[in-house]
Structure 1
Amino acid sequence: MNIEVITKEDLQVLKRELLEDLKQILKATQTKPHQWLKSADVRKMLNISAGTLQNLRITGHLKPNKIGGSFYYALGDIENLLLPETKRKK
């Protein structure tokens, strides 16, 4: 039966390796915060009418957040809408 002795130095090396791995994982999973656009900005960006924007909301193509009486749209959702349908995130 072989006995392996683990030293403090071994544990500290393991700790550094684990911390480095965690940092890399966190860096890879960090997402940029949502940038929110008002309805008027979305209409200008897409060159559409208020009615068309409402239809996009009703059909579920755009999912706004309503704060007070205003709708706010995530820029990522707008960008996703502009992609070909086969490449859209669902």
Structure 2
Amino acid sequence: MSVRKDQLVTVEDLEIFKVELLSAIRQLLMDRNGGTPKKWLKSAEARKLIGFSPGKLQTVRNSGLLAFTKIGGNIYYDQDDLLRLFSEHKQKRKD
């Protein structure tokens, strides 16, 4: 598939790009600092990473598509699970 300058970019394209860019930045920071990224994210951090509203995140969690851990009143998500969920539901463009 060739890319043309007059092609439109969809919101989905931007969301996919955002996840890929955040992943690349995270990897660069890990390489630079020699540390490990935060594995478990609270709901607000998870929503920010994948661009979901609170209701959408709860719907995905309730449907069983996304595993979570609840400790006290806080819900935590594995960052790898969030990125995998986003990647698995990525749809191919129809030209």
Please report the TM-score for the alignment, with normalisation by the length of structure 2: 0.51
Q: Among residues 57, 73, 76, which one is paired with 2:77 in the alignment?
A: 73
Q: Give the alignment's Cα RMSD to 1 decimal.
A: 2.1
Q: Among residues 49, 52, 55, which one is paired with 1:48 in the alignment?
A: 52
Q: 1:44 to 1:59 in 2, by over 3 A?
A: same
SS class of match (2:82)? helix
How many residues of Structure 1 are paired with residues of Structure 2 in the alignment?
A: 54
Structure 1: 4+ residue segments shifted above 2 A: none
Shift of 1:84: 3.1
SS class of match (2:61)? helix
Percentage of identical aligned residues: 41
SS class of match (1:45)? helix
Please report the TM-score for the alignment, with normalisation by the length of structure 1: 0.54
> Which segments of 5 or more consecutive residues in structure 2 lack a partner in the other structure?
1-35, 91-95
Shift of 1:85: 4.5
